Amino acid sequence: MNDTFLKVCRGEKVSYTPIWIMRQAGRYLPEYQEIRKRVDFLTLCKDPDLASEVTIQPVEILGVDAAILFSDILIPLEPMGIDLEFSEKIGPIINNPVRDKASFDNLLSYNPDDELDFVKKTIKNLKSNLKVPLIGFSGAPFTLATYLIEGGTSKNFINTKKLMYGDRVLFEEIMAKLTIMIHDYLLMQIKAGVDAIQIFDTWLGIVCPEYILKYILKYVNKLIDNIKSNSNVPIIYFPFNCSYILKQISGVSADVIGIDWRIYIDNASELMNNQKTIQGNLDPCVLFATRDIIKQNVEMVLNRGVACKGHIFNLGHGILPETPVDNVKYFVDIVHKLSQKGD
């Protein structure tokens, strides 16, 4: 197996900068679209054979250095009694959001080995076919809480913030319950065979620093520390839109911190005392530009990434559905070419 990605996660020296792409198994690939013509999104997530196929597609087409399990961060909410659906136009919809004590008390606890057996089967399928590491993942407690409370995506997150500011006891009960569920879910993935995990905190950046530090990061720390007490797989934490608080986030015990494009990668590393491997951080929209512009931006990120303890190349967020596939192939190739280190 090509373990370059894992070595960088652990802070080891390698001969080139590894790359994978968030949402690399997805709508920009015609091969993925062909499968989606036959099945809806949730069915695809729950079919181990099809989920394995779309996970492998970008590895074979692009030559990336890691695969990420095809799934969705909301999948583990369903067995809690959540009525989840996905709309092509709107995105995820939760028909029974949790906004009061009564709805919270209706949430179920469950064993992911039983209720999410299809995820375990997908991982085992993939491990027998992949020649690169497999990344498992989950949403972070706060990010999953926003979906649970809002009932889907949101612009201003009014319901979440009303609960966080107005009923902190219930807010923390929700966060605590989600932390336990995520821990069990990620441990199931690790036992099934994933080589690393990423924790997506997509909506952390909507919160003011004081509340992040007092009421949110403690659950991230508890989650990661408990996983580390049971496993030694590398952990990536991706707090999106949080360059304003990276110094404080550096206290999280993840091996790798993912960053978006809103900060230079070497400045991010410096804020964290150069103690973390950094993942990122090209603006996804650069991939719509000419090859010369793509190359210039890749060179800039690579040159700044030299100052980091370790650098995993990625976009600063998920690849966009309209992205030209040929540009993505060039992007992966040029990262590999420009980052090659001499003997």
Q: Give CA–CA dist 279/256, Å, rounded.
A: 7
For residue 313 the two structure tokens come to 């190349």
147 catalytic? Reply is yes
User: Which helix (H) or strand (E) element contains residue 281?
Assistant: strand 277-282
Q: Which of 3, 72, 113, 117 is catalytic?
A: 72
In degrees and rounded to multiples of 5, residue 65 shows phi and psi of -95, 0
Instruction: Report DSSP letters for 156-185, one per residue.
Output: S-HHHHHHHHH-HHHHHHHHHHHHHHHHHH
Neighbouring C-alpha atoms within 13 Å toward the C-beta of 196: 25
CA gap 238, 198 in Å, rounded: 7
Strand 67-68 versus strand 310-315 pairing type: unpaired
Is 38 a known active-site residue?
no
State the amino acid at position 275 in one-letter form.
Q
The CA distance from 220 to 258, in Å, is: 14
10 carries an active-site annotation:
no
- Residue 85 forms beta bridges with which residues? 93
User: Of the residues 36, 168, 184, 264, which is catalytic?
Assistant: 36
| Cβ atoms of residues 63 and 16 within 8 Å | no
Is residue 23 among the annotated active site residues?
Answer: yes
Catalytic residue, candidates 23, 32, 99, 219: 23
Of the residues 10, 16, 27, 167, only one is catalytic, namely: 27
Beta bridge partners of 314: 281
Options 28, 32, 147, 185, the catalytic residue: 147
Contacts of 142 (CB under 8 A, 6+ apart): 175, 201, 203, 204, 207, 216, 219, 220
Question: Which residues have C-beta within 8 Å of that of residue 282, sequence separation ≥ 6?
Answer: 261, 297, 298, 301, 313, 314, 315, 316, 331
Quick check: is 72 catalytic? yes
- The token duo for 253 is 């015990």
Please identify every residue annotated as catalytic.
23, 27, 36, 72, 147
